[in-house]
């Protein structure tokens, strides 16, 4: 309803009167009996404005796009060599072929010819080289450029001693040759990340503020005016898009406060203002009851894992028996039912079920049912006697308090441990975790940047991912539990050197079996189970993608 | 008078310098590396990037050098770059300051118009039905937490009745109504009670009795003698309250997605986005100093017995 100015002020007056009177007016829900059609093959109709809310992204310029919100925008604006579906299956986007040489030290990408940026400029191999070089440059200080670390010449760009990317060449406009300093038969999987996007000639360096706020891309959508920080981002269909064109006319993205964005998104959805929303955990049950019968409630295990990170190089959890004792003592089922009201699924693996081929349920044997006797037996064996002090750190502000308390309580009850809970801001927690005095347990979670089990196993568990600073003895990599097992490292190396996907998967499974099944280097808790409400009464082909965002490029009106 | 104002403004510079120094020292004490993890997520940053950012923002230098550089830039109006988005802090904060001011002014207007009017009426019609009702309602309101009022209003008018959008354009005056009322309603109740109390006191004063006995028209007595004398405590209260409002109202801003200073501060503290924290705190201190000065000047205008020297 559009209000005239006079009407608005009448509303003000009336609202004060009604504020008290209408408190007793319980929820009124719209109840038209229309059944949502789940037919995803319906002929697509162009048009319509899709609306949703996100929190302020760090960046929408591909050089530094990092979290799922920024990725939503950047993926709408840019199309790279490859794309990935919700199940983590890679397919060609602008690439027509992607071929490694014999030892995977060089990759050749054939690029589809004739596509353009939204300003009409041609997208060729040079556009890619430009984009990648710009992100890897020292001054960019990009948080995501490390995905290019395998490419020859990356180090020189990062330390500022070079301004060109020596590993990248374009023998002709439609061929991009990538020389790797570190051989990788899975390199092509990385290219779906937005940091590998092509950019226009006038993009300039990553410090170009104009392009940062209004990047010109080659994606299914283009910006309708620059990013209005903390307010909104508006996208319109790019009619000159080189691949299958989008159906939506417009996407209106409201930027919300990060503190209660899920609450605001859900309220916006309830008021009919948003077509897609997250929900606060406390309201999931009520939302499911209302929206599931209408087919508007989405619930799935996404690309991610919640686990406890035990410090394995010293402290009470040095032995694998001690870690197993902790794992057996945790009643995951009770926490899932009690704290999460069933909206998380218990995990028995590190590599989540979203990776269908590699998923091996039950690989963590101690993650099944709580077993108090076994826990006590293993604890006695490991010298984890009742009264032992056990540090348990977690970051505040992430909604972790309730389950951390529950886990600590269970460890106290079953093993008699003196669990010392420490809730601190993330940056402080990280500092503690990285330090040489780290001990005990830390809350942790991980999501893969590109669809391979290797992106869980490598950064979290390989010896090279410890990367200790020799001066301060602080861990700089993501393997902060300091797990180190040569046999595991060897399996991962074999996997990245294998060109056969099936064999690779098998090697990754063996590696997971070793690090999680045998050594329990990380203690899995529950999957990254996600929930959304989606307005499927109005839209077809509306689903979630690999980054948990709505499939904007496919959605169309009913 | 002019000299007095100048001296007070001179003191303000010292207060601001002191405030930034204390802030810097406090931020230094907080453990954790401000550029050690990604802004938007719970992940450690790439060590090479951490090193580059520490150099870029001078975090590798001793605190006193950092402070010197900061003050040097501050006098030129440069508050530095924030650590997550790497945008100019002034550019980030300017729209937020405008939003916060809008909300503060609207709330203050409601406080004055609604609160003072109700208080005056209640005092004039003491022990009437109106007075009883006002006392009852204001007592109830003062006991209500802001977030309850805010959530109720949002749910009712935006989610259920859909009269205003849940998330709207902050430049649209309609968007201002709910947060302004949420923010003002408790304060207005306090103002009403305060106004009623002081007014009753003044009404009993000898000079008012004398004026009435002398046969001065009631209207004139009220406006010239009663109002002017009973408004001083209310002005003090409003001054402090306005300062608080200009510093941002975290709860109200959060509930109504109002992009103001309060939210910026709370997010920045969580992310250890120090340039934003220092900037907002400095701004809040400056506002308080200026408002205190304004209140003092108003005193002198309202009460001739108060001299500024």
Interface of B with A in 254-283 (CB under 8 A): 254-255, 257, 259, 263, 266-267, 270-272
Taking the CA of residue A397 and the nearest CA in chain B, the distance in Å comes to 8
Mean pLDDT throughout B237-260?
Answer: 87
Mutate: best of B34, B49, B137, B269, partner A, most A CBs <10 A? B49
> In a mutagenesis test of the B interface, which of A20, A63, A136, A257 is the best target, namely the one with the most B β-carbons within 10 Å?
A257
Q: Is the pLDDT of residue B234 over 70?
A: yes
Decide: A22 and B159 in contact? Cβ < 8 Å: no
Helices (H) and strands (E) in chain A, counts: 16, 18
Does the beta carbon of B42 lie under 8 angstroms from any beta carbon of chain A?
A: yes
Chain CA centroid to CA A239, Å: 29
The shortest CB-CB distance from B52 to any of A22, A138, A429 is to A138
With a CB cutoff of 8 Å and minimum separation 6, the contacts of A93 are: A79, A80, A81, A82, A83, A192, A243
> Average pLDDT for consecutive 10-residue bins of chain A (558 residues)?
40 38 35 39 81 94 94 97 91 96 96 96 97 95 93 94 96 97 95 97 95 97 95 96 96 91 94 95 94 96 95 94 97 96 96 93 96 96 94 90 96 96 90 93 93 94 92 91 96 94 96 97 96 96 94 94
- d(C-alpha A163, C-alpha B58), whole Å: 24
Residue B309: per-residue pLDDT = 60
For residue range A111-163, list pLDDT tens digits in order. 999 999 999 999 999 999 999 999 999 999 999 999 999 999 999 999 999 99
Position A14 scores a pLDDT of 39
pLDDT for the residue numbered B109:
93
Specify the pTM.
Answer: 0.87
Question: How far away is chain B from the Cα of A5, in angstroms, using its nearest Cα?
Answer: 9
A158 alpha-carbon distance from chain centroid: 25
pLDDT at A3: 39
At B156 the pLDDT is 93
**pLDDT tier, B295 (very low <50, low <70, confident <90, very high otherwise):** confident
Say yes or no to pLDDT of B281 above 70: yes
Cα angle for residues A258, A263, A267 (degrees, 5° grid): 130
CB contact under 8 A, B40 and A57: yes
Question: Which of B100, B136, B167 should we substitute to test contact with A (largest number of A Cβ atoms within 10 Å)?
Answer: B167
Q: What pLDDT shows up at residue B39?
A: 63
CB interface of B with A, residues 165-184, below 8 Å: 165-167, 169-170, 173-174, 177-178, 181
Chain A with chain B: Cβ pairs closer than 8 A: 153
Q: Tell me, what's the pLDDT at A41?
A: 54
Put simply, whether B87 touches A (Cβ < 8 Å) is yes
With CB atoms and an 8 Å threshold, state whether B166 touches A395. no
Q: Which candidate in B28, B30, B32, B97 is best for mutational testing of the A interface (most A CBs within 10 A)?
A: B32
Q: Is the dihedral of CA A393, A398, A401, A402 positive or negative?
A: negative
Q: How far apart are CA A255 and CA A509, in angstroms?
A: 41
SS3 content of chain B, % helix, strand, coil (to 5): 75, 0, 25
Tell me the nearest-neighbour CA distance from A461 into chain B, angstroms. Answer: 15
Q: What is the dihedral of CA A531, A532, A533, A539, to 10 degrees?
A: -130
Q: What is the ipTM of this complex?
A: 0.84
Q: What is the mean pLDDT of residues B209-223?
A: 89
pLDDT classification of B270: cutoffs 50, 70, 90? confident
The per-residue DSSP string of A75-93 comes to: HHH---SEEE-TT--EEES
User: What's the pLDDT score for residue B41?
Assistant: 62
Where helices occur in B80-205 by DSSP H, the ranges are: 89-110, 117-124, 129-142, 146-153, 174-203
Question: Distance, in angstroms, between A441 CA and closest chain B CA?
Answer: 17
pLDDT category, B126, cuts 50, 70, 90?
confident
Mean pLDDT of B289-307: 83
How many C-beta atoms lie closer than 10 Å to residue A461's C-beta?
28
At residue B171, the pLDDT reads 78
Using CA of residue B176, residue B182, residue B187, residue B191, what is the dihedral sign? positive
Strand partners, A51: A252
Q: How would residue B283 be classed by pLDDT, with cut points 50, 70 and 90?
A: confident
Q: Do B36 and A430 touch (CB under 8 A)?
A: yes
């Amino acid at each position: 309803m559009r209000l005239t100015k006079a009407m608005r002020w009448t509303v003000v007056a009336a609202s004060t009167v009604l504020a008290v009177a209408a408190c007793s007016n319980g929820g009124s829900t719209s109840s038209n009996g229309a059944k949502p059609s789940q037919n995803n093959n319906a002929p697509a109709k162009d048009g319509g404005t899709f609306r949703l809310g996100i929190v302020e992204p760090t960046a929408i310029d591909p050089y530094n796009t990092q979290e799922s919100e920024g990725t939503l925008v950047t993926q709408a604006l840019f199309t790279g060599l490859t794309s990935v579906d919700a199940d983590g299956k890679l397919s060609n986007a602008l690439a027509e072929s992607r071929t490694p040489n014999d030892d995977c030290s060089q990759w050749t990408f054939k690029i589809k010819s004739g596509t353009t940026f939204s300003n009409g400029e041609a997208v060729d191999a040079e556009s890619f080289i430009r984009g990648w070089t710009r992100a890897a440059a020292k001054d960019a200080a990009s948080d995501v450029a490390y995905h290019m670390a395998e490419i020859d010449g990356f180090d020189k760009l990062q330390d500022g001693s070079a301004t060109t990317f020596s590993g990248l060449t374009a023998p002709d406009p439609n061929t991009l040759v990538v020389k790797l300093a570190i051989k990788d038969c899975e390199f092509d999987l990385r290219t779906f990340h937005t940091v590998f996007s092509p950019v226009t000639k006038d993009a300039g360096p990553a410090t170009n503020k104009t392009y940062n706020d209004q990047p010109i891309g080659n994606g299914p959508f283009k910006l309708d005016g620059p990013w209005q920080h903390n307010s909104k981002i508006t996208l319109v269909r790019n009619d000159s898009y080189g691949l299958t064109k989008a159906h939506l006319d417009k996407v209106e993205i409201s930027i919300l406060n990060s503190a209660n964005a899920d609450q605001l998104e859900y309220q916006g959805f309830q008021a009919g203002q948003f077509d897609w929303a997250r929900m606060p955990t406390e309201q999931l049950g009520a939302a499911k009851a209302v929206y599931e019968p209408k087919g508007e409630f989405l619930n799935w295990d996404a690309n991610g894992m919640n686990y406890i990170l035990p410090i394995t190089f010293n402290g009470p959890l040095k032995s694998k028996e001690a870690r197993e004792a902790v794992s057996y003592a945790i009643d995951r089922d009770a926490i899932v039912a009690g704290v999460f009201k069933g909206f998380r699924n218990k995990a028995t693996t590190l590599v989540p079920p979203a990776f269908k081929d590699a998923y091996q349920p039950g690989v963590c044997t101690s993650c099944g049912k709580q077993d108090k006797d076994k826990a006590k037996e293993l604890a006695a064996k490991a010298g984890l006697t009742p009264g032992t002090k056990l540090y348990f750190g977690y970051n505040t502000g992430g909604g972790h308090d309730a389950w951390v308390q529950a886990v600590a309580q269970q460890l106290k009850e079953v093993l008699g441990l003196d669990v010392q809970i420490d809730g601190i801001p993330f940056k402080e927690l990280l500092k503690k975790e990285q330090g040489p005095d780290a001990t005990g347990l830390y809350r942790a979670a991980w999501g893969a940047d590109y669809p391979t089990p290797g992106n869980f196993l490598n950064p979290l568990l390989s010896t090279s991912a410890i990367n200790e600073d020799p001066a301060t003895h602080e861990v700089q990599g993501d393997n902060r539990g300091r797990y180190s097992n040569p046999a595991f490292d060897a399996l991962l190396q074999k996997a990245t050197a294998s060109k056969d996907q099936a064999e690779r998967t098998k090697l990754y499974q063996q590696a997971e079996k070793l690090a999680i099944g045998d050594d329990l280097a990380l203690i899995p808790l529950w999957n990254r189970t996600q929930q959304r409400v989606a307005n499927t009464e109005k839209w077809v082909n509306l689903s979630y993608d690999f980054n948990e965002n709505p499939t904007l490029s496919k959605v169309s009106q009913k | 008078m002019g000299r007095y104002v100048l001296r007070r403004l001179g003191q303000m510079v010292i207060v601001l310098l002191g405030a930034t120094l204390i802030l810097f020292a406090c931020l230094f004490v907080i453990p954790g590396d401000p550029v050690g993890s990604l802004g938007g997520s719970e992940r450690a940053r790439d060590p090479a990037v951490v090193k580059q950012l520490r150099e870029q923002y001078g975090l590798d230098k001793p605190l006193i050098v950092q402070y010197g550089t900061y003050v040097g830039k501050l006098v030129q109006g440069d508050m530095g770059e924030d650590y997550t988005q790497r945008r100019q802090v002034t550019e980030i904060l300017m729209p937020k300051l405008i939003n916060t001011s809008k909300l503060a002014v609207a709330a203050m207007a409601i406080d004055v118009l609604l609160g003072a009017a109700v208080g005056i009426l209640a005092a004039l019609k003491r022990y009437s039905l109106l007075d009883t009702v006002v006392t009852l309602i204001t007592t109830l309101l003062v006991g209500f937490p802001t977030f309850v009022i805010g959530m109720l209003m949002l749910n009712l008018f935006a989610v259920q009745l859909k009269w205003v959008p849940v998330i709207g354009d902050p430049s649209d005056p309609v968007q201002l109504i709910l947060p302004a009322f949420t923010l003002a309603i408790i304060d207005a109740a306090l103002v009403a009670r305060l106004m009623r109390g002081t007014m009753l006191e003044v009404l009993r004063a000898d000079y008012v009795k004398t004026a009435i006995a002398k046969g001065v028209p009631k209207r004139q007595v009220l406006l010239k003698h009663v109002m002017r004398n009973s408004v001083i405590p209310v002005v003090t209260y409003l001054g402090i309250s306005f300062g608080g409002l200009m510093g941002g109202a975290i709860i109200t801003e959060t509930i109504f997605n109002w992009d103001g200073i309060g939210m910026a501060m709370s997010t920045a503290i969580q992310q250890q986005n120090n340039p934003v924290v220092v900037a907002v705190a400095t701004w809040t201190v400056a506002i308080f100093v200026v408002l205190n000065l304004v209140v003092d000047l108003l005193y002198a205008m309202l009460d001739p017995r108060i001299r500024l020297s």
